[in-house]
Structure 1
């Protein structure tokens, strides 16, 4: 293994960890707090996810000698943000995280369930994801409306830097957010002391509560979104770069590490999709057999970043919530545009996808169950009806 190590893989691993953490931690924090997590619980969840995915990436890549990149479920964080607090509060949400992790393990070990998830029509899965993401993608515009002097620099940084280097657009927006907080926000007295105290890692165990509303509103949609938007695309990215893997064991592994992080507030660990392309591509190393070191380095970086989650959360709390939501929204613009295009591309399923998108994006819940589930159900019924009529 040491002979396979390279400076190029080292650089790409560090870059991947920075981009992955900086571009989406805001989505995770906002999602966890939206379902009832306190600041300490959200920081604990972010730390648990960082440590779990770091260990998972190191173990899988070192044993297989393949660049198997891990990430937390960014679409899942956006789903939590659109769901809101369910009956039972954050304890019920943690119970749903555990159920979701078990479903992922079963999907990896039990092939029929894995095939059933893969059989969910891609237009409907993408339409549900687009409906989940669109609310948060409005946040940058709302931030400008809230205070142009605070919101506009964040958006302009994302636009200008993204025009030259798309990869650095979100980190640039995050840097602008930091500058806005430092120079444009009145920091309460003693707040900086709180940030310093938060440098000590905080681990918050949350006793899970299991109930039907949380299962239907969080566990099932989170499972579908994580599998359809992260795990399955993650396998596809590896195949594109010439790596053949068995999906089942990888899915089961991500579910196992999700199960370990859930009691501490982590919602889901999964295969990386976007950042996976960085470590699996030629930029990590010209020799495909030596690229796995980039993932190992990335995993080590996440283990270092994890204990700093409390300080990151406390620093973010100094600013108006709409500003960090704006950063999260900018981080999800690419995911939204990709899912929306995939949802409405096929003419035959366009109406069913539109129904799924509209019901999900409405944010309306029925019987304590969020719109993401009802959107998928409504779109599925519409698609089934259209196929029945066409067969007649």
Structure 2
């Protein structure tokens, strides 16, 4: 295994893993902090929560990347945590943990019995691609929003990326990252961020089973989990990787069951962050892209061991720089997703509806635009299919 890692290691793949790591801990993890504040959780519970989601994502991504030589980025469902920002004002953290526990058990059983693959197969692939493209669009447009707010950092990154893409395409993102850090360095102000780092002492939360919480919180969590797993797998499969729901989701589920007692919403294959490592920007040779999953997984585990005490470090990094780099790294996947979504003429209009609704950022009943975009696209596709069959009968 060590020999394989040495042989397959590349700067571009390692950089993709680092960018995925930075994108998570300068963005998604802050949602956990916000949800913890909404639920008035203690600092020890917040550290435990960050440990649980980080450790679950890290172990699952590391193991799957090494086992199958596929760039699986283990993650947690950000929409599920966003849901808790509102839900923790109605339910206790113990009730949320009970929902997480049952969800992890259910997802694991569905994965290993093959039912999850059947549920995912029902979702039209063109609409999944359109949903992914809608989410990616917001990431890519943030490059130019950041260019407006901090041109002194982002403009050199964009210019550098174009130059590097022309002459050294494999290392374009890595060199753009170094360019951005060089221009952003004068604005860094760590202010003692290195003080007070300590290993987390996980605190287990006793699950509280409530019918009201299982319906009001558990059902939306299941729908979000199904969508998250489907999109994560679709991104890998769309890039040519031969992975199954049983292989990937089953492992994520097994790891998530015990960690759910510490606040993990469930590990899953990352969708958008995972796309950074699955595409050609990571490495032109697909068989060597798994290095990005290894690097990111090790980073997740390391950060998880320090819990909330290390988040202060990531808070000092310029958020616009990370989102811009992520957007640049995702251009290739955006193109392939849009192309895949529009290939089938009979679902082209439904795919465009899915894309537009997802990109709109709308939210109802605490469910994000990605889920609504997929639902609207499916409903439109069903309506058109029924209308065509009616015309044929007459």
TM-score where L is the length of structure 2? 0.72
Cα drift, residue 148 of structure 1: 1.0
Which residue of structure 2 aligns with residue 108 of structure 1?
111
Residue 84 (structure 2) pairs with residue 88 (structure 1): no
- Counterpart of 1:367 in 2: which secondary structure? coil
- Counterpart of 2:73 in 1: which secondary structure? strand
The correspondence for 1:67, drawn from 62, 66, 69, is 69
Cα drift, residue 149 of structure 1: 0.8
Residues 7-28 of structure 1: CA distance to partner in whole angstroms, max 9, x if unpaired?
Answer: x532535758733431212332
Residue 148 (structure 2) pairs with residue 145 (structure 1): yes
Cα drift, residue 106 of structure 1: 2.9
> How far apart, CA to CA, are the structure 2 residues paired with 1:114 and 1:253?
14
Residues 105-160 of structure 1: CA distance to partner in whole angstroms, max 9, x if unpaired?
Answer: 13312223321212200111122222223223222111111121122233334333
> How far apart, CA to CA, are the structure 2 residues paired with 1:166 and 1:339?
21
Residue 320 (structure 2) pairs with residue 322 (structure 1): yes
Distance 1:85 1:384, change over 3 A: same
Tell whether the 8 Å contact from 1:22 to 1:171 is kept in structure 2 after alignment: no
> How far apart, CA to CA, are the structure 1 residues paired with 2:290 and 2:365?
47
Tell whether the 8 Å contact from 2:135 to 2:370 is kept in structure 1 after alignment: yes
Which runs of structure 2 are paired with 1:34-53 in the superposition (5 Å)?
Answer: 34=31, 36-37=34-35, 48=52, 51-53=55-57
Which residue of structure 2 aligns with residue 21 of structure 1?
17
Residues 146-203 of structure 1: CA distance to partner in whole angstroms, max 9, x if unpaired?
Answer: 1211222333343333334444333334333433432135x2xxx34223434x3446
> How far apart, CA to CA, are the structure 2 residues paired with 1:16 and 1:28?
18
> How far apart, CA to CA, are the structure 2 residues paired with 1:16 and 1:43?
32
> How far apart, CA to CA, are the structure 2 residues paired with 1:137 and 1:96?
34
> How far apart, CA to CA, are the structure 1 residues paired with 2:162 and 2:98?
39
Distance 1:50 1:276, change over 3 A: farther
Q: How many residues align?
A: 368
Which residue of structure 2 aligns with residue 270 of structure 1?
269
Tell whether the 8 Å contact from 2:228 to 2:268 is kept in structure 1 after alignment: no
TM-score where L is the length of structure 1? 0.72
Distance 1:93 1:226, change over 3 A: farther
Which residue of structure 2 aligns with residue 378 of structure 1?
376
- Counterpart of 1:194 in 2: which secondary structure? coil
> How far apart, CA to CA, are the structure 2 residues paired with 1:120 and 1:109?
19
Tell whether the 8 Å contact from 1:133 to 1:336 is kept in structure 2 after alignment: yes
Which residue of structure 2 aligns with residue 349 of structure 1?
347
> How far apart, CA to CA, are the structure 2 residues paired with 1:175 and 1:43?
30
Tell whether the 8 Å contact from 1:10 to 1:293 is kept in structure 2 after alignment: no
Cα drift, residue 317 of structure 1: 1.4
> How far apart, CA to CA, are the structure 2 residues paired with 1:328 and 1:139?
9
Which residue of structure 2 aligns with residue 332 of structure 1?
330
Point out where structure 2 has 5 or more consecutive residues left out of the alignment: 38-42
Cα drift, residue 349 of structure 1: 0.7
The correspondence for 2:232, drawn from 196, 221, 229, is 229
Distance 1:322 1:299, change over 3 A: closer
